[in-house]
Amino acid sequence: MNDGATDNHQDDTSDEQRLLAHRCENGHLNYPAHPACTTCGEPLTETVDLTADTGEVVTWTRATTTPPGVREPNTLAIVEFTVDNASVRVLGGTTDEVEIGQRVVPVFVEQLRDPEQAIRHTDSQSWSGFRFEPETDS
Ligand SMILES: [Zn+2]
């Protein structure tokens, strides 16, 4: 990485830098991807980009003792997104303290954990992902 990656949402954003839900023919949203819809069992045929969307904190927790390489404390939230009258819940870390009902937006993070301290081989997984940031009033 030598190009000073940005965390805003550009059109050339790669799929890795998008928060994608998966939709079946009946309109149910799934996250993450499953072999079939967890609601009706139909194939998941579409992706829905949640990267620029705002979700709502359903609940959250804070882990004060975390595995090697994971920040401490680590605040995690379940965030619900609603798209076309279907909703989907996504578990992820937060950038700040959150409250139930708070509106949050996904922000891409290059390194969610420290690969140097990983238990598994560092090439065996992706280190990037999303955290949820409280929406600012604007
Ligand atoms: Zn379905």
If we measure between CA atoms, which residue out of 12, 14, 50 comes closest to residue 32?
50
Least confident of 10-14, 93-97, 129-133: 10-14
From the CA of 44, how far away is ligand 1's center (Å)? Answer: 8
Buried/exposed code over 99-119 (b: 16+ C-beta within 10 A; e: otherwise): eeebebbbbbbeebbeeeebe
Which pLDDT belongs to residue 127? 82
As a whole-number percent, the residues of the chain with pLDDT over 70 amount to: 85
pLDDT confidence band for 118 (50 / 70 / 90): low
* Average confidence score pLDDT of the chain: 88
Domain ranges of the chain: 17-134
From the CA of 8, how far away is ligand 1's center (Å)? Answer: 31
What's the residue count for the chain?
138
> Cα angle at 105 between 82 and 101, to 5 degrees?
65
From the CA of 34, how far away is ligand 1's center (Å)? Answer: 11
From the CA of 22, how far away is ligand 1's center (Å)? Answer: 10
From the CA of 89, how far away is ligand 1's center (Å)? Answer: 15
pTM equals: 0.83
- Give tens-digit pLDDT for 24-43: 999 999 999 999 999 999 99
From the CA of 87, how far away is ligand 1's center (Å)? Answer: 12
Q: Do residues 54 and 82 touch, judged by C-beta distance below 8 A?
A: no
From the CA of 110, how far away is ligand 1's center (Å)? Answer: 32
Residue keyed to tokens 């950038």: 95
Least confident of 11-20, 70-79, 121-130: 121-130
With a cut of 60, say whether residue 6 has pLDDT above it: no
Q: What is the 3-state secondary structure (H, E, C) of the chain?
A: CCCCCCCCCCCCCCHHHCCEEEEECCCCEECCCCCCCCCCCCCEEEEEECCCCCEEEEEEEEECCCCCCCCCCEEEEEEEEEECCEEEEEEEEECCCCCCCCEEEEEEECCCCCHHHCCCCHHHCCCCEEEEEECCCC
